[in-house]
Chains A and B, each alone.
Chain A
Amino acid sequence: MFKKILIANRGEIALRVIQTCKDMGIKTVAVFSEADKNARHRFEADQSVCIGPADPGLSYLNMDLIIKTAKKIRAQAIHPGYGFLSENHKFAEKCRDAGLVFIGPSPKVIQEMGDKLTARQIMIDAKVPVIPGLSGKEYTLTDMKKKAEEMGYPVLIKASAGGGGKGIRIVNAEEEMKEAMEAASREAINAFGDGRVYLEKFFTRARHIEFQILADQEGNTIHLLERECSIQRRHQKIIEETPSTAVDSVLRKKMGNTACAAAKAAGYTNAGTVEFLLDNHGSYYFLEMNTRLQVEHPITELVTGIDLVRQQILVAAGNPLTLSQEDVSARGHAIECRIYAEDPENNFFPSPGTITCYEEPSGPGIRNDSGVYAGCAVPVEYDPILSKLSVHAETRDQAIAKMIKALKSYIVLGVRAPMDFLGDVLDSRSFRKGEVFTDFIDTHFSLWTPLMPSKDLACLAFIADEINTRPVPAMERPGASNLNSPFHTLGNWRL
């Protein structure tokens, strides 16, 4: 087993990986940019190394520097998390060439699945159903327009190298095609360094269902059931749950088998995710395969009791899977909400800044994978995710109630965070009935404004804050004990 792992990422996911490494007795190395010198992930690791300026291109995406750092600090493996270099086959290759284990699938698989056009072809060859669209390698604006005309608008322009909602544009009419192609292409060049785009039919009323895959180096491939990820804004998931209300045991078995077949066709090893679009007639289509740990992996962990990061590390170290498909069963219902620094009242614009007050929810069945704290900065350079709040309960109704309660007790000040919005989505009749589709937010919540049911109380709070300005002595604060730590002896202080 590895003695030391470098985590080539930041924020909540770097912390998530560090947690399991600690459970397994593996030493951890964090890397951080100058913008992240006060980020939590670097404090929690056994060692941490600054790898350059805030610009991700010079730090978190700097392959050679990260590999050099790993070698210098004598790490044996690199965990890429999600985003950044996690789906960069060149990085996986460079790791291998440097004698480091890249915790993920082989460079070839990453390359083939990362190139959405190649992945499509592999799935077509393996008889996995794919979304109608423009396959093949040569495509011009005219080709795109012709095919879109043939299939009917709206269509999707997707970056071949894209992912995580980046490099996707909906095209409703021919005249929007040019700008959509350029915008998707430019976004993809900035995010992934590859601007090729392709065309897919856009399903206005479909579900996004994905299956978690685990595969070892001996070719054993199992799935860890589905995740329903239909609630999205800007093509980025914000609420995920498992099991899906649209998947019964027959469909689950069928889709699970297809997912395993897709992973096998790809030659997949380690943890990965096969994403499907499920239409309202029960037909499903391969969307893409994510060759990394998924943001929403906690809900699978909650219902199956399997630590996916541990499985990733075990497989990467060459261990065969000890789990068989029959060993995998789910109990109860899990929901995850992504907590981004963003403003739901203003088109979900990112809201970077400094967190001035931060209180996390806790309690039975509540898990919060967070990377921030009161006083820390949310830099403009990176993805605005603050944390992933997950709950686990016996039934879906109980999980919804638990999540609504958790969101209410999750306090973030200094940056805007969308707990109020997420709470309203969960509390809506359509969500409670399980009628979730990828157009859910646009259909039901495009004109959302906060309800603000207790304006009188808010006015009272405003005044209460004015009239009681007495500073709180440190010793009188809840939870304060008689310790001689600076936290207690310094009196009032601010970060």
Chain B
Amino acid sequence: MEYQLKIKEKTYTVDLELDAEDQAYAMINDTSYELGVYRVSDHQIQMTVNGDQVNAWVEKQADGKTIIIEGQRYFIQDLAAQEMGNSSRGRESSQPQEPTTVTPPMPAIVIQVPVVVGDIVLKGDIVAIVSAMKMETSLKAPFDGKIAEIRVGEGDKVMPGDILVDIEKQPHTFIEEQRN
């Protein structure tokens, strides 16, 4: 069995020989490991790696797993599983499009939307101010353009991915004309 696991931008190839559900031999980049697995809880696994005990904490997420070992967090993605997922669910994550929308980086509450539909904004202009846990963050226009739609009002609760403001991309010449 072979796994292609991705941590940050690097891919790790793991060759796995499964002895039993709780016993395996693994090879990662020429290093071999004798692995014992004991599941303590849904989130905790105690591994025995070449004779040494290692406690690992695992959380499954939609696009990978967060692992905590010795206080360090690792976000790991299974490339094979991802490709399967991508073919059925589209390829949003692997082919990033240039953002055309303004979305908050965290669950937040809208404090202010200082623009109205039809406004011309330049890249970096503040188009929304949100607050999460009492901290304010300004959301800025990702490019020059014209405000096409404002989808939220002050006091609205918003999540990452929610589109707050639609900006219609405009060529620089158009912006120049409008501004003059």
Does chain A bind chain B?
Answer: yes
Instruction: Tally A residues with Cβ within 8 Å of B.
Output: 58
**Contact status B56-A457, CB under 8 Å:** yes
- Output the least CB separation between B45 and chain A (Å): 5
Question: Which of the 9-residue segments B72-80, B91-99, B171-179 touches chain A?
Answer: B72-80
Q: Secondary structure at chain B's binding surface: helix, strand, loop or mixed?
A: strand
Which of A414, A450, A464 lies in contact with B56, CB distance below 8 A?
Answer: A464
List B residues at the A interface (Cβ < 8 Å): 3, 5, 7-8, 10, 12, 14, 16, 18, 21-22, 24, 26, 28, 31, 33, 35, 37-45, 47, 49, 54, 56-60, 65-74, 76, 78, 105-109, 111-112, 129, 131-137, 157
- Output the least CB separation between B160 and chain A (Å): 10
**Is A147's CB within 8 Å of the partner chain B?**
no
**Contact status A462-B54, CB under 8 Å:** no
From A353, A414, A454, name the one whose CB has the most chain B CB atoms within 10 angstroms: A454
Which of B31, B33, B134 lies in contact with A191, CB distance below 8 A?
Answer: B134
With A and B bound together, what is the CA distance between A13 and B10 in angstroms?
A: 42
Which of A450, A465, A478 lies in contact with B58, CB distance below 8 A?
Answer: A465
**Contact status B73-A384, CB under 8 Å:** no
- Look across to chain A and name the residue whose beta carbon is closest to the beta carbon of B36: A464
With A and B bound together, what is the CA distance between A471 and B42 in angstroms?
A: 7
With A and B bound together, what is the CA distance between A419 and B68 in angstroms?
A: 11
Within 8 A of B (CB), among A446-495: 450-465, 467-468, 470-472, 477-478, 492, 494
Known pairs A187-B136, A420-B73 / 19 extra A-B pairs, C-beta < 8 Å: A341-B133, A349-B105, A356-B43, A357-B42, A357-B44, A381-B133, A413-B43, A419-B71, A420-B72, A454-B69, A455-B7, A455-B10, A459-B3, A460-B14, A460-B26, A462-B65, A462-B76, A463-B24, A472-B39
**Contact status B133-A457, CB under 8 Å:** no
Within 8 A of B (CB), among A348-387: 349-353, 356-357, 359, 380-384
Within 8 A of B (CB), among A174-222: 183, 186-187, 190-191
**Contact status B135-A350, CB under 8 Å:** yes
The 12 listed contacts between A and B (C-beta, < 8 Å) are: A352-B106, A352-B133, A357-B44, A359-B44, A380-B108, A382-B134, A420-B73, A452-B8, A457-B47, A460-B56, A465-B56, A472-B42
**Contact status A356-B106, CB under 8 Å:** no
Which of B67, B109, B133 lies in contact with A384, CB distance below 8 A?
Answer: B133
- Residues of chain A within 8 A (CB-CB) of B136 are 183, 186-187, 190
**Contact status B54-A457, CB under 8 Å:** yes
- Residues of chain B within 8 A (CB-CB) of A410 are 71
- Residues of chain B within 8 A (CB-CB) of A416 are 73
- Output the least CB separation between A10 and chain B (Å): 13
A458-B157 contact, Cβ under 8 Å, with A186-B111, A467-B24? no
- Residues of chain A within 8 A (CB-CB) of B137 are 349
- Residues of chain B within 8 A (CB-CB) of A331 are none
List A residues at the B interface (Cβ < 8 Å): 166, 183, 186-187, 190-191, 234, 341, 346, 349-353, 356-357, 359, 380-384, 407-411, 413-414, 416, 419-420, 423, 450-465, 467-468, 470-472, 477-478, 492, 494
**Contact status A413-B35, CB under 8 Å:** no
**Contact status B18-A467, CB under 8 Å:** yes
- Listed from nearest, the 8 A-B pairs whose CB atoms lie closest are A408-B71, A461-B56, A458-B74, A357-B43, A350-B133, A413-B59, A464-B37, A384-B133
With A and B bound together, what is the CA distance between A450 and B39 in angstroms?
A: 26
**Contact status B56-A350, CB under 8 Å:** no
**Contact status B33-A456, CB under 8 Å:** yes
- Residues of chain A within 8 A (CB-CB) of B33 are 456, 460
**Contact status A383-B22, CB under 8 Å:** no
**Contact status B69-A350, CB under 8 Å:** no
- Residues of chain A within 8 A (CB-CB) of B22 are 467-468
**Contact status B134-A166, CB under 8 Å:** yes
With A and B bound together, what is the CA distance between A387 and B112 in angstroms?
A: 31
- Residues of chain A within 8 A (CB-CB) of B42 are 357, 471-472, 492, 494
From B5, B67, B111, B131, name the one whose CB has the most chain A CB atoms within 10 angstroms: B67
**Contact status A458-B7, CB under 8 Å:** yes
- Look across to chain A and name the residue whose beta carbon is closest to the beta carbon of B74: A458
With A and B bound together, what is the CA distance between A333 and B76 in angstroms?
A: 38
- Look across to chain B and name the residue whose beta carbon is closest to the beta carbon of A408: B71
With A and B bound together, what is the CA distance between A458 and B74 in angstroms?
A: 7
- Residues of chain A within 8 A (CB-CB) of B8 are 452
Which of A359, A455, A465 lies in contact with B45, CB distance below 8 A?
Answer: A465
**Contact status B40-A477, CB under 8 Å:** yes
- Residues of chain A within 8 A (CB-CB) of B58 are 461-462, 465
